[in-house]
Structure formats: structure tokens, C-alpha cells
């Protein structure tokens, strides 16, 4: 589990470097998270129906899982950082 958590932390750092600190409303965060889950779904479908390069497909699937976990962490960070503020 430690290796996975380190990968998520590394992805969070990459996201902050790319986008800066993100402070969205809950509905905006859900839209971002849903987009990420859609990417996981795409990779799962690619793996299930194509099987042409299963290792590559599973690597992409895993990458999307890490990115989605990192977005969830970003959501929690934003929530904690903005406690008591109006985020509508």
C-alpha cells in the first residue's frame, strides 16, 4: 500500500504543478472526478474488448486509477483548505 500512496502523492504534485492550487465547488469537483472515472472506464473497456496489448491496457488502467485517486485527494485538500468559505 505504501508504494501506491507514494504514487498518488507524486501524481498530486504533478497535478499541482500543471494546474496550480485548485479550489472548486463540490459540483465542479464531481464533474472533474466523473471525467476521471470515465477514463478508467475507457481503459477497462479497451482491456475487456480488445485484448490486443493487455499489459499496455492494464498499465493505462492503473495510471487512470492513480490519477483518479489523486483527484479525490485534491478534493479533500480543497474541502479542508476552504472550510467555512462559500464555494458556490
Report in angstroms the alpha-carbon separations of 25 from 5, 40, 71. 25, 23, 14
Give the tens place of pLDDT for each residue, 34-83: 999 999 999 988 888 876 666 666 899 999 999 999 999 999 999 999 98
Q: What is the pLDDT of residue 64?
A: 97
Q: What is the pLDDT of residue 85?
A: 79
Write down the domain spans for the chain.
Answer: 26-83
**pTM, to two decimals:** 0.88
Q: What is the pLDDT of residue 52?
A: 62
Question: Rounded to an integer, what distance in angstroms lies between the CA atom of residue 27 and that of residue 71?
Answer: 14
DSSP character for 86? -
- Listed residue (4, 76, 64, 10) closest to 34, CA to CA: 64
Lowest mean per-residue pLDDT among 18-22, 26-30, 72-76, 81-85: 81-85
Cell of 82: 476552504
Amino acid at each position: 500500500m505504501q508504494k501506491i500512496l507514494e504514487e498518488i502523492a507524486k501524481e498530486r504534485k504533478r497535478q499541482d504543478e500543471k494546474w496550480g492550487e485548485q479550489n472548486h465547488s463540490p459540483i465542479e469537483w464531481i464533474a472533474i472526478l466523473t471525467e476521471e472515472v470515465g477514463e478508467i472506464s475507457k481503459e477497462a473497456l479497451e482491456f475487456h474488448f480488445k485484448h490486443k496489448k493487455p499489459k499496455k491496457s492494464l498499465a493505462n488502467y492503473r495510471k487512470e486509477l492513480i490519477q483518479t485517486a489523486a483527484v479525490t485527494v485534491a478534493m479533500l485538500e480543497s474541502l479542508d483548505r476552504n472550510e467555512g468559505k462559500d464555494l458556490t
